[in-house]
């Protein structure tokens, strides 16, 4: 994880040796291990490169890096596959070595087509005066751009800034390919032309398809002096995932689990599916590919091998890996697979966030009924309800008994049963209204932007507090304060989008059938960069930590894309079974119990942040709470720095 930035000026009177203080501060938060700036000047323009490194891999390599020909590289990414990076090597240097050897545009595109893993980059090619930049296909790393309306300057950065009373001018670089700017030409013409090199793949019908973001759509939100054009050679990046299987069953929709619709929604319901040989093979293949994805993401970080269990007691060791943990099916499967690959004497931090709501009168039965209908929430299985009830009784503080805390504790017990030898640090992160409002105003609003909806506010704040990792750990003997120092945070995002986990998928299936559901899932993956991943990267990276997304590994996505929809979900079945059916079957095979039946619950409702301030807001409404209130925020941030 790194904070990367390139500020370009075409006007001599605006040449500067430093970034603005607030932008520099935001970047340094992302990269606590190394900070460096590099100035490259030409007769017509000036480029200020700023790199801030979170060291996770190989030898610490300060950024920006420069070669003997004056090429400059900024890299915020991880190479998990595609090109060879040995365990002791640093991928920044490896990727830069490849780039330096590229002879033409095709070579550069070939390189980024091969890399599997999250990335954003900025590359200055000195001999041609070209500035290349972009994000990976899913947009798992943030990159923003900001263009001066007069054409005198522009900036690329992992994170932006806000100015009180000024409309936000930062925008996310679309994850639809990579871009190239001819800096010399732009300085002379006073117009910035973005040459686009889109992601493309060959469909099953042998038709070349490209990223949904058209050049017209991108240009619409940019100043008039900035235009987006297709590259003259019509070159493109080759997409590293296979296209979605849109095949429909030949007859009326049937599933390998046709008999289970008459079985009560209990664990045995899922076991019936596993009696089918083909389905069992598919489930095992899914476990295998997801396990490899998790392995790559928990082993690509430094561990002090000299600190053996003889030197350092297991109970004194710190976790290297943390998981955003609700006890739901996504985080439970990730935790179970992480347990396979992380050294047994190393703890795993389970980060569980709850927002402290005021106690309310218990609703009447009629109110309960209306609430249940509103949230499309069906009664969970009897087995699961008993487990939750027992867990809730353990907690004397009803103010903190939010749904995700209850399911999180139940999930902890399951994990302890799966591997009682592992130290599972269940970190209870409790956030008051006052703390939420304070850090939203002074910190979080800077990170969520340019996104600005109520949903972005709820999820962004919840993820920020969860990934910060400051809370307490409850043991049999005591409750002690705890701060997670794990640099890597695993998150389950991508499971719902690919496996029909949202309630809107069920509505779509009921309205438009399997064909409509396929189109909805295709759209979900196409927009995940702009809806989720850039925001989450900025929010988690603010703590000097790196977000990693096992469900969005290229091989996992390709495997899921290759399956017909009915092998991934069966929405004729009730909630807690039909959605994410494949993942639930995998959970059963991995030895999980009650969590395999847990219905989808959005983070904003499970953590209760959605109930903290206004109850009548729509998720898509613009959120006034994300606006900067005071220009003094930066100085306040430094005083309350975590």
Give the span between the Cα atoms of 413 and 410, in whole angstroms: 5
Exposure letters 166-204 (e unless 16+ CB within 10 A, then b): eebbbbbbbbbbbbbbbbeebbeeeebbbbbbbbbbeee
Closest CA to 324 of 338, 314, 313: 338
Give the span between the Cα atoms of 110 and 492, in whole angstroms: 30
| 244 Cβ contact partners less than 8 Å away, ≥ 6 residues apart | 518, 521, 522, 525, 561
Q: Look at the block and give the residue holding tokens 């070595």.
A: 97
Q: Are 270 and 584 within 8 A, CB to CB?
A: yes
Q: Look at the block and give the residue holding tokens 């989008």.
A: 497
Catalytic pick from 2, 211, 257, 461? 2
φ, ψ for residue 588, nearest 5 deg: -60, -45
Q: Are 378 and 348 within 8 A, CB to CB?
A: no
Q: Are 318 and 307 within 8 A, CB to CB?
A: no
Q: Specify the 3-state DSSP secondary structure of 489.
A: strand
Length of the chain, in residues: 642
Q: CB-hemisphere CA count at 13 Å for 448?
A: 28
Closest CA to 134 of 125, 146, 145, 126: 145
Strand 153-157 versus strand 144-147 pairing type: antiparallel
Give the span between the Cα atoms of 582 and 589, in whole angstroms: 11
- The DSSP call for residue 595 is G
Q: Look at the block and give the residue holding tokens 């399911």.
A: 407
The 3-state secondary structure of 498-532, one letter per residue = HHCCCHHHHHHHHHHHHHHHHHHHHHHHHHHHHHH
Q: Are 49 and 43 within 8 A, CB to CB?
A: no
Using alpha carbons only, what angle is made at residue 575 by residues 607 and 613, rounded to the nearest 5 degrees?
25
Q: Is 2 marked active-site?
A: yes
Report the Cα 424 to chain-centroid distance in Å.
23
Give the span between the Cα atoms of 537 and 119, in whole angstroms: 11
Q: Are 571 and 260 within 8 A, CB to CB?
A: no
Q: Are 550 and 112 within 8 A, CB to CB?
A: no
Give the span between the Cα atoms of 613 and 624, in whole angstroms: 12
Give the span between the Cα atoms of 256 and 275, in whole angstroms: 9
Report the Cα 243 to chain-centroid distance in Å.
21
What are the E-state strand segments in 304-450?
321-324, 348-355, 424-431
φ, ψ for residue 562, nearest 5 deg: -75, -20
Exposure letters 365-388 (e unless 16+ CB within 10 A, then b): eeeeeeeeeeeebeebbeebeebb
**Active site residues per annotation:** 2
């Amino acid at each position: 994880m790194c904070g990367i930035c390139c500020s370009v000026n075409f006007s001599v009177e605006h040449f500067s040796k430093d970034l603005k203080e607030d932008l520099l501060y935001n970047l340094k938060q992302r990269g606590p291990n190394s900070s460096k700036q590099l100035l490259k000047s030409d007769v017509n323009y000036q480029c200020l490169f700023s790199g801030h490194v979170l060291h996770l891999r190989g030898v610490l390599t300060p950024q920006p890096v420069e070669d003997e020909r004056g090429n400059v590289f900024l890299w915020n990414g991880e190479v998990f596959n595609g090109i060879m990076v040995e365990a002791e090597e640093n991928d920044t240097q490896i990727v830069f070595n490849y780039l330096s050897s590229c002879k033409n545009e095709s070579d550069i595109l070939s390189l980024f087509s091969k890399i599997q893993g999250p990335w954003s980059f900025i590359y200055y090619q000195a001999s041609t005066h070209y500035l290349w930049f972009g994000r990976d296909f899913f947009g798992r790393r943030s990159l923003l751009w900001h263009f001066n309306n007069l054409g005198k300057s522009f900036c690329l950065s992992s994170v932006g800034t806000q100015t009180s009373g000024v409309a936000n001018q930062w925008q996310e670089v679309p994850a639809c390919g990579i871009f190239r700017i001819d800096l010399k030409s732009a300085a002379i013409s006073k117009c910035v032309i973005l040459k686009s090199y889109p992601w493309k793949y060959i469909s099953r019908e042998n038709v070349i398809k490209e990223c949904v973001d058209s050049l017209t759509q991108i240009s619409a939100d940019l100043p008039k002096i900035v235009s987006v054009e297709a590259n003259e050679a019509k070159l493109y990046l080759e997409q590293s995932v296979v296209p979605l299987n849109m095949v429909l069953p030949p007859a009326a929709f049937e599933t390998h689990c046709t008999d289970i619709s008459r079985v009560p929604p209990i664990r045995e319901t899922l076991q019936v599916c596993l009696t089918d040989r083909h389905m069992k093979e598919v489930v095992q293949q899914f476990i295998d590919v997801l396990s490899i994805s998790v392995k790559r993401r928990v082993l690509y970080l430094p561990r002090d091998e000299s600190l053996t269990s003889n030197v350092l007691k297991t109970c004194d060791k710190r976790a290297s890996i943390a998981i955003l943990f609700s006890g739901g099916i996504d985080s439970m499967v990730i935790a179970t697979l992480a347990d396979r690959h992380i050294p047994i004497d190393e703890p795993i931090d389970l980060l569980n966030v709850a927002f402290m709501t005021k106690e309310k009168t218990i609703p009447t039965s009629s109110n309960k009924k209306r609430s249940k209908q509103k949230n499309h929430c069906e009664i969970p299985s009897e087995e699961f309800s008993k487990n939750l009830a027992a867990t809730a009784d353990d907690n004397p503080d009803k103010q903190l008994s939010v749904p995700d805390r209850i399911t999180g504790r139940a999930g902890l017990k399951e994990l302890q049963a799966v591997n009682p030898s592992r130290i599972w640090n269940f970190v209870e992160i409790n956030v008051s209204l006052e703390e939420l409002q304070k850090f939203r105003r002074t910190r979080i609003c800077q990170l969520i932007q340019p996104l600005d909806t109520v949903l972005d506010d709820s999820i962004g704040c919840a993820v920020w507090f969860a990934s910060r990792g400051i809370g307490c750990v409850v043991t049999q003997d005591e409750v002690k304060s705890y701060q997670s120092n794990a640099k890597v945070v695993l998150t389950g995002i991508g499971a719902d989008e690919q496996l029909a986990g949202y309630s809107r998928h069920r509505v779509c299936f009921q309205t438009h059938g399997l064909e409509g559901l396929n189109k909805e899932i295709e759209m979900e993956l196409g927009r995940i960069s702009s809806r989720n991943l850039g925001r989450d990267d900025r929010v988690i990276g603010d703590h000097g930590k790196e977000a990693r997304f096992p469900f969005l590994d290229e091989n996992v996505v390709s495997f899921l894309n290759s399956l017909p929809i009915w092998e991934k979900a069966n929405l004729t079945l009730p909630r807690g079974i039909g959605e994410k059916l494949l993942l639930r079957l995998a959970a059963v095979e991995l030895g999980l119990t009650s969590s395999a039946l847990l219905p989808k619950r959005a983070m904003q409702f499970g953590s209760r942040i959605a109930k903290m301030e206004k109850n009548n807001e729509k998720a898509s409404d613009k959120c006034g709470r994300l606006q900067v209130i005071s220009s003094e925020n930066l100085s306040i941030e430094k005083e309350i720095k975590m």
